[in-house]
Structure 1
Amino acid sequence: MSAVDAQIRPFNPQAAAVQLMISWIMAFGVFLSGFVISEPAPYEVLMVGQVALWFLFGLKISRAVAPLLALLLIFNVGGLLAIMVLPTILTDQVLYVAVSIFLALTAVFYAAVIEDRPQRLKLIFQAWVAAAMITGMLGILGYFHAFPGSEIFTRYDRAMGAFQDPNVFGPFLVAPMLYLLHGMLKGRLTESPLRILGILILSFAVFLSFSRAAWGLFLFCAMALVFIMLLKERTNAFRLKILVLSLTAVVLMVMALVVALQFEKVRGLFETRTQLVQEYDGGHLGRFARHRLGFEMAMEKPLGIGPMMFGKIFPEDEHNIYLKSLMAYGWIGFISYMSLIVWTVSMGFRYMLRERPWQPYLMISWIVLIGHMLVGVVIDTDHWRHFYLVLGIVWGCGAAEWRYQRAKRA
């Protein structure tokens, strides 16, 4: 048996039905992550039970996944210490810390199930694409008030799908878009029209979110994927295919954008959102001023000021994940968070271009992770469910590589 065969184990015939069922339940959890219009969402309800049952019935945390668990635990210990310094602890603050711990466990869960069977990656991304297409269409239909009550899928005249915030809705769609783009570039030309249609729908939904962070994330990730694939696939035929299909997709997206801008409502909001510095960014106690004041405050408050306290001191929340980690989790949380990010990024970079069955999923997730680190300068990603999914995918692929190398040495 080769090292790859040892890593990608065939299903045990006696346990095939059970394995299929639990894998589909896991994928259904990923699907539900696209529908968080109220909290607690169905995603939380399913995942709490699912994570407990998987570990109860033997899902193991290997040495390759253990650092992820350790760093996330230290991060949340920082959150617990930060909440202890508060003179009065509110229920919402306790719930905030509880959600942080829950999301940390979901990242470890995804890493463990992927290491156990990397074949589940395809199911995860297919479920993610299905959720993105449905919530994306809801955002588009809601924006244009296509049916009575559709305004529930918008906020401040911005599409948000089945989410509570357009700034989370837009980034959620980026990884599924990359998955479709990768399939278009690597797959058969006969399948490209359906993938291009999917990319157009998701691109339009991201555009209608009018989230500058989502726009930047979308463009960065798309260009990064094409660039990395050009480095990896060096045949002239493949490069020509990438050039033709990429140009086709760009032309279609530009045409869709031109059509969208014919609507006065879309054009007016687009002109407003494309301004580099908005009214709430600059000025006294604007976004950037709050960042500076917050980092100065961190020098005086090593344990942080507690979750949800920054917005009570200043006009708005941190809108910066690095400042958020300092304020809500203290220096302990900040150091563990930065250590986790550096470790994850470096691990993904080492393994990203190795020819493995999980290589495309690792590459997509690594690019999305880098994009989230960049947009994290101007937005909070602390409780984004899909961010912890991406984190778990990268660590799961890294753990699969670790098992592969062990099998190869043996």
Structure 2
Amino acid sequence: MSALATHATPVYQPGIATARLIGTGLIGLGIFLLGFVFQEPAPYELFMAAQIPLWFLLGLRVSRRIAPLLGLMLTFNIGGLLSLTVMRDLDTGPMYVAVSTFLAITSVFYAAIIEDRPERLLVIFKAWTLAAVATATLGILGYFHAFPGSEIFTRYDRAMGAFQDPNVFGPFLIAPSLYLIHGLLTGRLMAAPLRIIGLLIISFGIFLSFSRAAWALFLFSAVAMVIILLIQKRSGAFRLKILLLALTASVLMVLTLAIALQSEKVRTIFSARTELVQDYDGGHLGRFERHRIGFMMSMERPLGIGPLAFNKIFPEDEHNIWLKTLTTYGWIGFVCYLTMMIWTLCFGFKYLLRERPWQPYLMITWIVMVGHAAIGDVIDLDHWRHVYLLFGILWGCRALEMRYQSKLARPQHAAL
């Protein structure tokens, strides 16, 4: 065989290149729609319901590395189906479980497309950041009644963007904010102005959501990222750059907060929201008492009580993801969700500091997932679309790492 035949130049195939470009655009659009969830099913579900089957028909596959996630997600939702059997009035229960099952499929889909082409991680985070800036802008404009009808982007004098709830809107913005912070700390200075503008918009949106969980999550995530980067980077000059930029960003945040607090409306709500325990937390049948009663009740009901049934017994929903899994998905769902969360956080920590092309995305996602696992004690994460995306990203990175390790091991076996 000739040298020319051995080292043939790759042939450019316009059809394949166009298909990949269209596929990238579809992924980006799907992620962008995550920022606009007015109702269930949302436009995101409708779009992804058309996109996901198309990808699998065109050859996307779920590898054995992702199969455990698929198994756990499906078993989790089998628990939801079983909980329907104990309900006297199904009402919206079947639709709730249908949405849950579909969101589980999206998680597996994201893991599969990331394993297939790791460069899609950049598309995912760029689209997520655009969605965050767009929905945060709507929330800010709505809060200050910038145009007629803009109040639809607020609730209870709190910004919620294009979401149904400020408590979902705020946490949705955290991963994009970390992506921008990471770019500021490690990227080129030429791109810094755009990142700073985007970060200020997103952080102001988080503030105006007046979600204590989102505030805590943002602070934890930013500090955790700086610490991890300081551990990871050995260069003294780089560490100095990180510290200086982090200090500058902190000063800008404080100045923005000080300006916002000049408004009496903002100052009043901020003062009320900074109280550690609200009336609805510690009052009669408040959040914490509901948690205690709900956990005791779940010990006697292994199949749960059914989707959306808790707020028909008590004044409000569970506001606790662990209790939510028990009431809505039964013991089966609880065990599956706990297993998924612990397994995901453990392998994410194991791979956290490994120098890989996908390491920054894994780090951002892992930090945000740790924060979500923590705030899950006081808030219900079920049906948060971006949480399923977080699972998908981390399992996709796990699949990439396992494939990478497998390739490293092959030459050694061949030598033996």
TM-score by shorter chain over 0.5: yes
Partner of 2:126: 126
Letter in 2 for 1:24: G
Letter in 2 for 1:159: A
Greater shift in the superposed pair: 23-32 or 50-59? 50-59
User: Cα deviation per residue 1:352-395 (whole Å; 9 max; x = unaligned)?
Assistant: 21111110000000001001000100000000001101110000
Partner of 2:33: 32
Partner of 1:109: 109
Q: Pick 1 or 2: higher relative contact order, CA cutoff 8 A, min separation 6.
A: 1
Q: Distance in 1 between matches of 2:268 and 2:253?
A: 19
Q: Distance in 2 between matches of 1:148 and 1:117?
A: 44
Greater shift in the superposed pair: 175-184 or 188-197? 188-197
Per the TM alignment, residue 189 of structure 1 is displaced from its structure 2 partner at its CA by 2.3
Q: Distance in 1 between matches of 2:239 and 2:314?
A: 51
Q: How many positions carry a matched residue from both structures?
A: 401
Letter in 2 for 1:16: A
Q: Distance in 2 between matches of 1:312 and 1:305?
A: 11
Q: Distance in 1 between matches of 2:389 and 2:13?
A: 27
Letter in 2 for 1:58: G
Q: Distance in 1 between matches of 2:62 and 2:123?
A: 21
Q: After the TM superposition, which residues 192-211 of structure 1 pair with which residues of structure 2 at under 5 Å, given as runs? A: 192-211=192-211
Asked if 1:367 is matched to 2:372, the reply is: no
Partner of 2:353: 353
Partner of 1:55: 56
Partner of 1:87: 88
Q: Distance in 2 between matches of 1:107 and 1:314?
A: 31
Question: Residue 290 of structure 1: SS of its match in structure 2?
Answer: helix
Question: Residue 355 of structure 2: SS of its match in structure 1?
Answer: coil
Per the TM alignment, residue 40 of structure 1 is displaced from its structure 2 partner at its CA by 2.6
Per the TM alignment, residue 194 of structure 1 is displaced from its structure 2 partner at its CA by 2.1
Letter in 2 for 1:202: I
User: Cα deviation per residue 1:174-203 (whole Å; 9 max; x = unaligned)?
Assistant: 000000000000012232222122111111
Normalising by structure 1, we get a TM-score of 0.96
Q: After the TM superposition, which residues 134-213 of structure 1 pair with which residues of structure 2 at under 5 Å, given as runs? A: 134-213=134-213
Per the TM alignment, residue 58 of structure 1 is displaced from its structure 2 partner at its CA by 1.4
Per the TM alignment, residue 299 of structure 1 is displaced from its structure 2 partner at its CA by 1.1
Q: Distance in 2 between matches of 1:100 and 1:45?
A: 14
Among the aligned pairs, what percent are the same residue?
64
Partner of 1:23: 24
User: Cα deviation per residue 1:11-64 (whole Å; 9 max; x = unaligned)?
Assistant: 976511111111210111000110112333221111011111111221110011
Letter in 2 for 1:306: G
Q: Distance in 1 between matches of 2:40 and 2:169?
A: 15
Letter in 2 for 1:215: W
Q: Distance in 1 between matches of 2:337 and 2:123?
A: 29
Partner of 1:382: 382
Per the TM alignment, residue 10 of structure 1 is displaced from its structure 2 partner at its CA by 12
Question: Residue 357 of structure 2: SS of its match in structure 1?
Answer: coil
Question: Residue 217 of structure 2: SS of its match in structure 1?
Answer: helix
Partner of 1:271: 271
The 8 Å contact of residues 32 and 127 in structure 2, kept in 1 or not, is answered as yes
Q: Distance in 1 between matches of 2:212 and 2:200?
A: 18
Per the TM alignment, residue 87 of structure 1 is displaced from its structure 2 partner at its CA by 2.2
CA RMSD between the two structures: 1.4
Partner of 2:46: 45
Structure 2: tracts of 5 or more residues without a match: 1-9, 411-416
With over 3 angstroms needed to count, the CA separation of the structure-2 counterparts of 1:378 and 1:240, relative to structure 1, is same
With over 3 angstroms needed to count, the CA separation of the structure-2 counterparts of 1:138 and 1:227, relative to structure 1, is same
Q: Distance in 2 between matches of 1:102 and 1:12?
A: 34
Per the TM alignment, residue 85 of structure 1 is displaced from its structure 2 partner at its CA by 1.3
Q: After the TM superposition, which residues 329-348 of structure 1 pair with which residues of structure 2 at under 5 Å, given as runs? A: 329-348=329-348
Partner of 1:307: 307
With over 3 angstroms needed to count, the CA separation of the structure-2 counterparts of 1:19 and 1:10, relative to structure 1, is farther
Q: Distance in 2 between matches of 1:162 and 1:341?
A: 28
Normalising by structure 2, we get a TM-score of 0.94
Per the TM alignment, residue 69 of structure 1 is displaced from its structure 2 partner at its CA by 0.3
Partner of 2:3: none
Larger Rg: 2
Q: Distance in 2 between matches of 1:313 and 1:106?
A: 32
With over 3 angstroms needed to count, the CA separation of the structure-2 counterparts of 1:318 and 1:10, relative to structure 1, is farther
User: Cα deviation per residue 1:43-100 (whole Å; 9 max; x = unaligned)?
Assistant: 111101111111122111001100000001110011111111112322x111000000
Letter in 2 for 1:362: L
Letter in 2 for 1:407: K
The 8 Å contact of residues 41 and 99 in structure 2, kept in 1 or not, is answered as no
Question: Residue 300 of structure 1: SS of its match in structure 2?
Answer: coil
Letter in 1 for 2:17: A
Q: Distance in 1 between matches of 2:377 and 2:267?
A: 27
Question: Residue 88 of structure 1: SS of its match in structure 2?
Answer: coil
Q: Distance in 2 between matches of 1:124 and 1:19?
A: 15
